[in-house]
Every structure is written in C-alpha cells, then in structure tokens.
Amino acid sequence: MNNIQIKEAADFLAKASRTLEPMDALTKIYSDITVDDAYKIQLENINKKVADGRTIIGKKIGLTSHAMQEMLGVPEPDYGHLLDDMLGDEEVPIKVSSLLQPKIEPELAFILKDELKGPGITVANVIEATAGVMPALEIIDSRIKDWKIKIQDTVADNASSAMVVLGGKMMPISELDLRHIGLVLEKNGQIIDTAAGAAVLGNPAIAVAWLANKLAQYDISLKPGEIILAGSLTKAYEIEAGDLFTATFDKLGTVKVLFK
C-alpha cells in the first residue's frame, strides 16, 4: 500500500470508531495489504490521537494463544497501543452503547519501572524491569463488521482494543510464579471459565519480551510507568448491558467491570 492508501484506511477506521458503525474488512478493500501496512495504519491513527492531546500509557499484546494464531494463520502475537482515554474505572459502569461489538478478556498487566528495548530482551530482563503485576480486564472491540477479520484487519484496528480496567492491587513480580497464577472468571456471579498464567505463551513474561523485541524493529521501547497487557488467559466473552464480569487471580485479588 502507498502512503495515500495508508492514510485512507486509517480514516476509514477512525470514522467507524467515531460513528459506531462497523465497516468492511480492510482485507476486502485492499487485497494487497500486508501486516507491515497494517501496523503503519495503526500508528497513523495513534499519532493523530496523540496530536489531539491523548497520551500513550502502555501497550497490549494479542493473539498469545497458539489456537488463535493458528486460526488467523500467523506465527506470532500482535500488539496495539493503550491511550489515557481507554483506561476505565472499576467503580464506573461502562456504557455498552459507547462500543460497537465488545468482548471481554481477563489479563495480567505488567507495570514497568525500567525501560525495555530490544533486541535481545529475555524473560529475566522483563522480570527485572517490572515494578509489579496487576489484575486486568480488557474490553476488546472491532471496527470491522461481525468480527470477520484477518490478522491485517485486527493489527490496523489497534489490535481490536477498546478499554482496560485494572484491579486495585499490585503485587511485586518477585512474589509471583507467573505460569501458575490461577484465574476464575465470573459473569453475573456464575463461573464461566478458569485458567492459569501459562495459557499466555507458557509464561506471560515471554509475551512482554516478544513485544520489546518486536518494537525494536521500529526503534520503539517500552517505557517506565507503562502498562503492558500480556494477553488473555481465556477466550473472549461477549458483553451485554447489565453484565457484571469479575476476574479473581491468585494472590493478585479481583478486578470487576459492570456494563450498562
């Protein structure tokens, strides 16, 4: 894709987000779109939002399960940006009408105290650079009709991100066995899923290391204070008005989101 098409595609996604009207997949509109093109489209919209006053507060990692990678035919995860207006509050219900076709995922959020810049970042580097880990619920959304997406579509669409809500407790990473952190996910008081940290690439810190090394291709680092969502421990669940989701993590406590 040329620069004109990159900007055009970014405008299509921005309009869908603004009007809350899903659009056709970019892979239908641009038959030759590549994953690299998609990251350029993502960055085009992120840069516009930053120019309008938004602040980047972190990154999110997606497609961290091998099943999802196989479904989309990709060999690695993807990533998107977290902005300050994407941060929700446990005590403030989220309006479903403000989203298009939302789903929810329980995740571990790494809060960095040191910069991480690849290449060559390891799990040990991630642990050393992390101040602590918090429980999180990510609300994902797609500007593409009916979630009929390929990898290029979700990457261009900021990795299908919408919002993140963090729990009120942060644990030092040295006190956690990331692989064995247990999770119970409830919807309206009923358990709908259970998992452990190892569901994310065998160890969520592997996902954070992957991200630091991937971003090195663009001379981007993960900065102190950033929130890094390491990827979902379960499949994504659909959301309706009135739903209350609660994720309880071993040692980390709970995080909840009410939708209205």
Q: Where are the domains of the chain?
A: 3-258
Residue 202 in tokens = 């065998």
What lies within 8 Å, CB to CB, of 11 at 6+ separation is none
Taking only the tens place, the pLDDT of each residue in 184-202 is 999 999 999 999 999 999 9
Distance (Å, rounded) from C-alpha 15 to C-alpha 157? 12
Q: What is the mean pLDDT of residues 23-47?
A: 97
3-state DSSP call for residue 10?
A: helix
pLDDT of residue 259: 98
- Average pLDDT over all residues of the chain: 95
pLDDT of 26 over the 90 cut: yes
pLDDT of residue 168: 86
Asked whether the beta carbons of 61 and 76 are under 8 A apart, the reply is no
* Residue 129: pLDDT band with limits 50, 70, 90: very high
130: which 2 tokens? 């992390």
pLDDT tops 90 at residue 134: yes
With 0-12 / 13-18 / 19 or more C-beta atoms within 10 angstroms meaning exposed / middle / buried, residue 149 is: buried
pLDDT confidence bin for 8, thresholds 50/70/90: very high
CATH for 3-258 (2.70.70.10, 3.30.1490.20, 3.40.50.720, 3.90.850.10): 3.90.850.10
Report pLDDT for 65. 76
Of 7-21, 63-77, 92-106, 164-178, the one with minimum mean pLDDT is: 63-77
* Inter-residue contact 115 to 256 (CB < 8 Å): no
- Looking at the chain, the whole-number percentage of residues with pLDDT higher than 70 is 100
Dihedral, CA atoms, 76, 24, 45, 82, nearest 10 degrees?
-50
Strands (E), the chain: 56-62, 78-83, 103-112, 130-140, 161-166, 182-187, 190-196, 227-232, 237-238, 244-249, 253-258
243 in Cβ contact with 187 (< 8 Å) = yes
pLDDT tens for residues 45-93? 999 999 999 999 999 999 887 767 777 778 789 999 999 999 999 999 9
The pLDDT confidence band at residue 247, using thresholds 50, 70 and 90, is very high
Mean pLDDT of 229-233: 95
